[in-house]
Structure 1
Amino acid sequence: MRLGLQVGITKTQNRSLSDYLIGLAKQADQAGFSTLTVPDHFSLRPESTPWLRRDESSSIPAVTDFYEAWSVLAFIAARTSRIRLSTMVSGITMRYPAVLVKTADTLDALSNGRAYLGLGASPGFGADEHQRMGLPFPPAGERVTRLEEVLQMALQLWSGEDKPFEGKYYQLASTLGDPFYIQRPHPPILIAGQGNRMLRLMARYADVVSIGFAQNLDDMRAKLETLHKHCEDLNRPYEQIQKTTLMMAPTAHNGHLDPAVLNTFRALAELGIDEVMIGAPADPATFDLLATELLPAVEKIPVTGR
């Protein structure tokens, strides 16, 4: 099993984000964390971000602003050499799709083949964010349909074929070009989601999927079973798809992590989860424990089906 990091990129007081990211990324790269992901948002109201840690002694801001995700990933890529990089994930309503594909293509080239194209259908809680940024926010069903078009567009752009792309929502005059990416056949496609239509898209297009949260094993088991069925219907080997999930960083007590946390990782591995993305802790001492205690232990856990 692999261990990745989900890193927050919001404005925080009393620290330089650039210094924090440089230190964290270099430590994660050297320690052997497999992937570093960042959320792709611009600004969210507090009711949309219950997962964000906030200082109870200070007032809650009207909105939480995020640094632009792909710029942050490029900044990190320049200071690391091994760790893989992705958004978790980019909603397809946030940027024009062909530009987003070009952005991921460029990051893969500049990072020497370490980028994912992380995509999602844009979560429902983002409606306010879109309105304040002047971005259209179609209904959920349309967003999923648009996501499939974007996936088809990405594959055609990466193919370099000299022909138009003619979708219901997106049209390109030509997809002729010489993509920059290094990975073959293209940067891996990472899709996050959980609804039945999303799981079917994952079965058809994803190289990597992010499903649910580690705390709800029964829900995750059900979604993986649905994904497996869709793979069978599409005649695609289920084993071809790498599976990930998100998890809050374990807490430390008396200078050590609770050994019981490994039971959760073992249970996830039994479900076939290949990688767990844990939230990067704000406390440097806890990060050191993750790197020196948790990471080596997790890497020894076998994953069912691998």
Structure 2
Amino acid sequence: MSKITINEVARIAGVSIGTVSRVLNNRADVNEQTRKQVLEVVRQLGYVPDAGARKLARGTRGLVAVAPFSSHASNSPYYAIIMDAVQEVLMQHGYTARVLEPSQADPSKVQAFIFPGLRLHDTRLEQLKEKGIPHVVIGRLIDQDTPWVDVDNFKGMQSSVLHLVKLGHTRIAHLTGSPIGQTTFDRLEAYHQTLADHNIEEDPDLILDGGFSELGGYRAVRQALEKGIEFTAIASASDEMAVGAIYALEDAGLRVPYDVSVTGFDDLEIAQVFRPALTTVKQPIRDVGHTAARMLLDLLENRPAGHGLLPTELIVRSSSGPVKRMIKR
């Protein structure tokens, strides 16, 4: 009988190798249901980690710090997927990834940094360059030689707004967040450009700040309705804000998509199970995390890393439909 491997445990449990490794090392960053699921598969298969698997799980070559731009960001579903994908690749090469800020990291222990999201004019990059510490950014950078990977945010949002325009919508609100990074600007610019390309007059009141959170999306849409702002569709820059927007519309007695169409961006798991199922822009989040980790490995091996721009795909579900009437409050 062939020896059971950590790869087989991960496949049967339906999780990543990195998740199995964290469970075997009793790490706290695994939810209890997943932990029980993995341990049950380990028990059923009779899996016993060999020396190589233990080395893989613990990481012996060094520590990589993953530094989100805010505590809220680090708790979002998007960053959970990114973190899992990064760990999956790095652990296969003997590295351990932890969420750490540069100010908290011990330079003698941290080998490199990955920044999933970055504020404009962030001073941390210059500090790392001066110290010669390898680093990769998840998010498009302009006029910088730092390696980065991102999705095509402009084309992604363009496809979302164009979808609504083709359905007959002209009063399209854009649910966005504070302009903290290039991602926000790229999605906002796509919204502006798509309306202009179709001779649709812009209304500044239709730019709603949802703070890239479900609660923020709820509050922004509720306030817009209370102010009497008219719209028949919402193009959200994230799935979380889109879900919050739908709750706000429902609380106001409006139906999605009959009264208002709503689209998101990310294609998180909730987009598929939410009702109505969310029309959204699918971005390959795990691929982004994998690519960032591989770029970092290139830097650690003194190989050039470059830049990467991954494609998006519009997934049409039941939260968007033809325009029927203008909403007036």
Shared fold, TM over 0.5: no
Normalising by structure 2, report the TM-score.
Answer: 0.29
